[in-house]
Every structure is written in C-alpha cells, then in structure tokens.
Amino acid sequence: MRTHFDVFGLPRAYDVDVPALEKQYRELSLLWHPDRVAQADARERLKALEGTTALNEAFKTLKDPVRRAFYLLKLHGIDLDREDAGAQKDMPLEFLEEVMELREALDGAMEKKDLARARSMATDVEARRKAALAEAAGTLRALEGGGGGADLVKKASHALGRVRYFTRFLEQVDAFEEESLS
Amino acid sequence: MSKNGYLQIHDPLKPKGQAVGIDLGTTNSLVAAVVQDKPRCVPVDEGDSLLLPSVVHYAKDGGVVVGARARRLAPEHPDDTIASVKRFMGRSPDDAETRKLGHYRFVPGAKVVRFDVAGGTPVTPIEVSGEVLRALKRRAEAHFSTKVEQAVITVPAYFDDAQRQATKDAGRLAGLEVLRLLNEPTAAALAYGLDKGSQGTYAVYDLGGGTFDVSILKLEDGIFEVKSTGGDSALGGDDFDRVIAQHVLQTMGVTEPSPSLVAEVLAASRKAKEALTDAPEVQLTVGSHTQTVKRADFDAWIQPLVQKTGLVCRRALKDAGVTAAELDGVVLVGGATRVPAVRRYVAEVFGREPLGDIDPDQVVAMGAAVLANLLTTVDRQDDVLLLDVIPLSLGLETMGGITEKLIPRNSTIPMAAAQVFTTFKDGQTGLDVHVVQGERELVQDNRSLARFTLSGIPPLAAGMARVEVRFSVDADGILSVSAKEQSTGVSQSITVKPSHGLTDEEIEQMLLDSIDHAEEDIQARQVREQRVDAERVLAEAERQLREHGDLLQEGERPAIDAGMARVRELMKGEDHLKLKEAVHTLDEASRPFIERVMNQAITQVVAGHSVEEY
C-alpha cells in the first residue's frame, strides 16, 4: 500500500521536518496540479487530479502532528476515525470516568451560560490534551523505532483516544463561545 | 472590428477563440480577457459600460432583455424582471433566504425555485444566470470579433456545493466550457499579486452585492496558497439598499407596498447609498415623496450588518493560524467596500488601512481572465499556481442525527477522504447515506446535499459487511461520492450530485432548446458587425459632404441623403441583410461624388499642394 510518506518519498516516522515538507509540497504541486496540465489529454489530466488529491491528503496528514499520529496508529491497524470505532470502547475505565465528569461540568457551565467557567475548563483540558499527545508521540516514536508491539500500539491508541476526546471537548467550548458572542 | 480582434483571430494557439474570465455578480457582471499580457474588462452594456447589471427581463413575446435596459423595466414589470438571481442559486424553494428575497411569483410546489415570468415558461435561477452569461458571451464575442467558448467563472468562496454546481450548470447552458470555478477573493488576489509582485500573507475582504467572503492567502514565488476562507453567502450591498428602503417605506407610512413600489424604492435607495460615499447627505425621491438621508444615519442602520463580517474575519484569521498584525496587507474587493463605514470597520478589525488601488468592481473579473489565459496556454513557462480550499466541511449523517465530518473546512482541493461503515443488523443489505455540508454538530442545522441508499450489500452478520464511502472534491470545489463494499470485493461505485440543482436530463433538454436559439446568436453578431460597418460608411459620407459639398453635382444630394436616411433607419432594426444592401446602395449613390473628391485631391498634389491641406 502506498502511504502518505511514500508520496513524499519519506521514511515512515513520527517526526517530520515540516518546513522541508512544505517546500517539497509546493514543488510537487507545481508538477502535478491539474491547472498545470489543463491543455493535456484527458488521461493526463485525470492522472494530475488523482496525483494532486493524494498529495493534498498526504500533506494535510503529515504537516499536522495530531493527524500524523492518528495516521501512524492507523498504519498499525487501529483506525480511531472509523465510524463504529470498536477501539474507542476499549478505553480504560478511569478515562470514561474522567469523560463523564468533564461532560457534566461543561453541560452545567453551558446551561448557566457561564462563559468564564467554560473557558477555564478549556485551559485545563488543553493541558491534558497536550500531555496525551506528548505521550502518544513518545509511544509512536518507540513503535516506529522498531521497539515493542501490541502493548505499545495499545498505549498509543489510549493516548490518542484521549486526544480525540479532548479535541472534541475544546471544539464544543469554541462553538459555545461563538454562540455566546454573536 | 476592434484592433484586438485581428490578433485574436489569427492566434493559432487559440483555436477555441478568446478565453475569458467572468465575474457573475449579484448586482453586476463583468467579462475580462488577457490581451497583450494584460487583463482588461470588456464593454458589455449601454454607453460602453464594463458592468452589465445582472438583471434579466422576460417579455410577453418570449424575448429576453439583459442589463441596464432590463433594470429600467423592473419598476413597471416587477414580476417579470429578475434581479440578484445569484442569491437564489442552488437554494431550495423553502429556504429561509429564498422567502426573504421574494416579491417574485414562484411556481408553487416545485422542487427547485421557479420564477413564473411572462413569455410562457417558468424559469429557474440557473436559466436566469445562464441568460446573464449568454449576454456576456455574445457581447464579448462582438467586442473581439471571435468566438468565446471557454471561461473561468468566479463564485463566492463561501458558496456551498449546490451553489457551485448551479453556477457550473448555468455556464453550460450559456454554451460555455467552464474551465474552472474560481473563488472570488482568490481571483482578486491573483490580479493583485501578479500586478504588484506581492509576497507575504494577505487578507482579501470581499463584500459584493449579495455575498461576503474573506480569504487569508499566502503569496510566495507565484504560488497563491489559500490558508483559510470564511463568509456569508447571504450578505452584501443589496442588504444595505434594503435597510434604506425599509426606513424610507416607514417614513412614507406604507406598510404593505406593492411590488412596483418596492422596486422603485429599492432603486432610489441604491442611488442614495452610492451617493453617500462622497456626500454627507443626499435627497432621496420616490414619486412625490422626498426625504433627506444622512450618512451618519445610514452608517448606524447598516452597523449590525457590517459587524457580522468582523466575526467571520476573526475566525478566518484563527483558522489560518495568523494574527491581524502578522498580515502584510488587506485588499478590498466588491462594490460595497466603497461604503466609508465598511472601510473604517475593516481598518479597525485588521488594525491597518486596507489597500484598494485596483478598481474593486473589476479586480475579480481581471483575476479570472488571468487564470483563463493560463489554463488555455499550451506548454506553460510560468510558475503561477492557485492552491484553494473548500469553505465548509463535508460530512455524513451518523447515528442520532450527528454530523461526522469527512473533509474539514479549509482543506486544500482537490481532496478526498474515505470512511468505512459497517452494517448494524444481521442480514442487512442496504445502507442509507446522507451527505451534508456545514460546521454544525446536528445534521438538521447543516446543508443537506444528497441522500441515497446503497443497496446490494451481501447479507452477512451484523458488523461483517464493510462499506467504504469515499468523498472526492475536485478543483472546482464540487463533490462526488462513491461507495464500495469491501468484504466481498463487490465494488458498487456511484456518483452523487446535490439534490437542489437541475438533473442532467433537464440540462440536456435546455441545451437542446438553446441550440434553436443558436441561429439567432449568429444573426445577432452579424447585425452588430454590419452596424459597425454602416456607422463607418455614414461617418465617411458625412465628412465628405461637409468638407467637399462644393463638388456635388445637380441631383446627387437627394439620392445620397435618402441612402443615408435608409441606412440610419435600418441600423435600428435587426435585419443585417437589408442593412448590408442599404450600405451598398449608399456606396453606389455617392460613388461619382467621392471619385470627384479623390480626383481633385490627386490633381492638387500634382499641382504642388499637399494632401494635408484638405
């Protein structure tokens, strides 16, 4: 299977030199973009469209550390974005308790239209998200470095499950904030 | 025939005639082309105006009038004269925005918006836009004296999938190959960036007649990368007119105005708004009613509308990951940015004076022309590239009416994403798929684009059948959806188009109908060309009569005068063959006289005088 790393000719790894990636993205876009071959025959244009679509997907995934982490996990067989997301049910019990606690607190703040409370919760959750992402990054580095197997995958999956939840939580606060201001 | 016309005809690299850029605006539309390396707008309406009012009048005899003439017909025929049709594009009849706009007669119960106009057949917004595009095409053809078949058409960056599809269909209806749908702020940046050689990060603030867009772009070495975009596809200068009109009707004490009165008050309000750009107060007159409108009052009235744009700008900056202070400049686009209160507000939001040194009306069409030219260039040597984004997230409905985003907003296009679904019942053979666009969590708050059922899934235990749904967004920002059943390898691929447009069959039929009109189109061009010819001959005849009337012989003058009168008369009509004949007759009638003039000139040169004396 051709991976997003293959599109850029990069070795599979958690760490990516983003400025270099960006430069390469621009060079490849100039070569592959459909607009650059608008006068070519239909086959060539379709190739350009497919190539550029793959390039844009790969760039979007690799330039962002969070997306990159989820993608690496997917390459290890766990797709947290899948709709049924069996993996999500697999989360440890204490995390589910944490989720319920946060959920209740945010619902309370939103009910009372307490923007200040929601914001301070967001600051706290942002820190938890960062910590979870750092843990995921460390685990994925170890995994890609060739160390360990199923245990590390599970650890990375739990860390990213938390990242995913915290991100959604922050999005909700954002939406609440926008609603309150408008 | 224009000077440029000759060049274009003989350009072997352009077998399809002149490629153009079209700004299909809410209030006005423009067409531009790159001629001798520079984008230029083309005159398209009365008095060589570069702006064609986007107004279409349907006459009782089935005729169609587009532009300033149509706009003048609006107060008298409010139901048969469609203005601001762009605001209806891709919207359904029960859309809140549609209802807000309407004094028109809608065909009730229809799945798409249909205006009940004079001339028999109700028309859809796509057809009305098609008429505007067709008028632009014809007038550009007359200007260049060559075919115009390929165009880049601009759309608001914030247009959703249905609105984009509708615009593309309108282009097809007008007989145009749509090379690309280009986002308006990106078009402006292209015209601006290439003209000024700019580098850095810019915000484009585009407030048009009916739509608002803001885009944050990074310009570097010819690459225009859109970082984020945001907007409101139902906010523009039109709304300023409406606010004034509301206050005027209130002052007049009218609570239930007739459609013609509304049209009249709106026209007066638009004039007042434009005048208030330079004057602190203006007199507004409707019939016998006159009132003073002060700029300060106007500013206060529109303040809530203007402030709506600020929120959008802040979010776009946040999405792009830049602060206002980090920008290298802010570019103003769209006629409504002429309003001083808008300029002040933009300066406040971005903390700097905006740039506006390219005409805000023309810059979008000019950018579109630049791209049209690039896309029709064989063997490109430049390194210009636009990397644009989709404005609104695309997703699917999941359990409980929740939106699952597949492609988030501000993703660079073309883009694709896939999601795997599993069956939740034993033996389940069908799966309902609901495609939506928007940012809200609940499906009902987003735009519904398409609904379909995937059938033919092999009956397996719950969770065993895996169906991959794949979204692909092309470089025009238009979505197609395909699905594949993975467990058995049975691939069922379908492509879905939004449900609010016209079907392909309907478009085909309309295209067939328009071929009947193609004969008329050619005729229209011939009339136009013959008129130019006739004008030249008339001017020449008048000049010779004025300067050399002494050389006329007995009985010649009445024949020449009669010939000229006949030509003038036929120039008003549409019969180019008769006009050609009349020009020929005039030529014949004046020939002996003209020969005498020339002979005298030659004789005098021989006698040592120079021609210049005459």
**B284 lies in a domain?**
no
What one-character DSSP code corresponds to residue B11? Answer: -
Tokens encoding B33: 């082309």
- C-alpha span between B14 and A182 (Å, rounded): 51
Residue B454 and residue B548 in one domain: no
Give the end-to-end CA distance of chain A in Å, rounded to a whole number.
Answer: 47
Residue A41's closest chain B neighbor by CA?
A: B378
Which residues, given as ranges, of chain A have pLDDT below 50?
A: 85
For A84, which of B374, B417, B463 is closest by C-beta distance? B463
In this complex, which of B379, B386, B472 lies closest to A35 when CB atoms are compared?
A: B386
- Check whether residue B467 and residue B381 sit in a common domain: no
B375 and B409 share a domain?
no
User: Could you tell me if B449 and B326 lie in one domain?
Assistant: no
* Digit-coded pLDDT (tens) for A94-116: 888 888 899 899 999 999 989 99
Are B173 and B207 within one domain? yes
Among B86, B137, B168, B497, the active-site one is B86
Q: What's the rounded Cα separation, in Å, for the pair B171 and B476? A: 13
Beta strands B385-387 and B329-333: pairing type?
unpaired
| Structural domain includes residue B273 | no
Tell me if B385 and A35 make a contact (CB, 8 A cut-off): yes
The answer to the question of residue B109 being in a domain is: yes
In this prediction, residue B13 carries a pLDDT of 44
Instruction: Provide the 3-class DSSP secondary structure of residue B279.
Output: coil
pLDDT of amino acid B51: 96
B176 found inside a domain:
yes
Residue pairs spanning A and B at CB distance below 8 A: 72
Expressed in angstroms, the distance from the first to the final Cα of chain B is 27
Final residue before a domain boundary, out of B442, B474, B502: B502
* Same-domain pairing of B356 and B440: no
For residues B41 and B179, membership in a common domain is answered with: yes
Extract the tokens encoding B362.
């023309």
At residue B565, the 3 state secondary structure works out as helix
User: Residue B18: which H helix or E strand, with range?
Assistant: none
Q: Please report how the helices B504-548 and B576-606 are oriented relative to each other, as an axis angle in degrees rounded to 10.
A: 30
> Is B278 within the bounds of a domain?
no
Nearest in space to B220 (alpha carbons), one of A26, A68, A44, A54: A26
Give me the CATH number covering residue B404.
2.60.34.10
Give pLDDT, residue B384. Answer: 92
What phi and psi values does residue A172 have, to the nearest 5 degrees?
-65, -40
Which whole-number Å values give the CA distances from B438 to B77, B160, B317, B415, in the listed order?
38, 9, 19, 17
- For residue B237, the model assigns a pLDDT of 94
Asked if A83 and B421 come within 8 Å (Cβ–Cβ), the reply is: yes
Whether B385 sits inside 8 A of A29 (CB atoms) is: yes
Same-domain status, B227 and B150: yes
Could you tell me which residues come within 8 angstroms of residue B238 by beta carbon, excluding any fewer than 6 positions away?
B26, B27, B84, B87, B209, B210
Where would I find the H helices in B107-258?
125-144, 161-173, 184-196, 237-252
Does the beta-carbon distance from A26 to B223 stay under 8 Å? yes
| Strand, coil or helix: B388 | coil
Q: Is residue B346 in some structural domain?
A: yes
pLDDT at A88: 56
Type of residue at B436: V
Nearest-angstrom CA–CA distance, B579 and B532: 11
Handedness of CA B488, B491, B492, B493 (dihedral sign): positive
Residue B382 lies in a domain: yes
Backbone angles phi and psi of B299, in degrees to 5: -55, -45
- Regions of chain B with pLDDT less than 50: 1-14, 608-614
Can you list the positions of beta strands (E) in B521-593?
none
* ipTM value: 0.86
Amino acid present at B40: R
Judge if B450 and B438 occupy the same domain. Answer: yes
| Greatest pairwise CA separation for chain A in angstroms | 61
Q: Strand, coil or helix: what is B435?
A: strand
Indicate which CATH number applies to the domain containing B160.
3.30.420.40
Number of domains in chain B: 3
Which of B221, B375, B411 minimises the CB distance to A38? Answer: B375
Read off the CATH number of the domain in which B552 is found: 1.20.1270.10
State the helix-helix crossing angle for A65-75 and A150-181, rounded to 10 degrees: 140
Same-domain status, B22 and B64: yes
Q: Does one domain contain both B222 and B130?
A: yes
Task: Tell me, yes or no, whether B428 and B477 share the same domain.
Answer: yes
Count helices and strands in chain B by DSSP H and E runs: 14, 23
Q: Which of A35, A53, A57 sits opposite B375 (nearest CB)?
A: A35
What confidence tens digit (pLDDT) does each residue in B323-358 have? 999 999 999 999 999 999 999 999 999 999 998 778
Handedness of CA B2, B7, B10, B13 (dihedral sign): negative
Q: What's the rounded Cα separation, in Å, for the pair B189 and B183? A: 10
Q: Considering only CB atoms, which chain B residues are within 8 Å of A49? A: 414, 474-475
- End-of-domain residue from the set B453, B477, B502: B502
C-alpha torsion B117→B119→B122→B124, nearest 10: -80
Confirm if A32 and A48 have CB atoms less than 8 A apart.
yes
Please tell me the distance from the alpha carbon of residue B65 to that of residue B74, in angstroms, as a whole number. Answer: 11
CB–CB contact A34 B475 (8 Å):
yes
In a domain, B427, yes or no: yes
Residues of B engaging A, defined by a Cβ cutoff of 8 Å: 179-180, 220-221, 223, 311, 315, 371, 374-380, 383, 385-387, 398, 404, 411-417, 419-422, 441, 463, 472, 474-475
Range(s) of the domain holding residue B430: 394-502
Concatenated DSSP letters of B183-220? EHHHHHHHHHHHHHT--EEEEEEEE-SS-EEEEEEEEE
Looking at residue B611, what is its pLDDT? 38
Q: Which domains does chain A have, with CATH numbers?
A: 4-63 (1.10.287.110), 86-181 (1.20.1280)
Q: Establish whether B206 is a catalytic residue.
A: yes
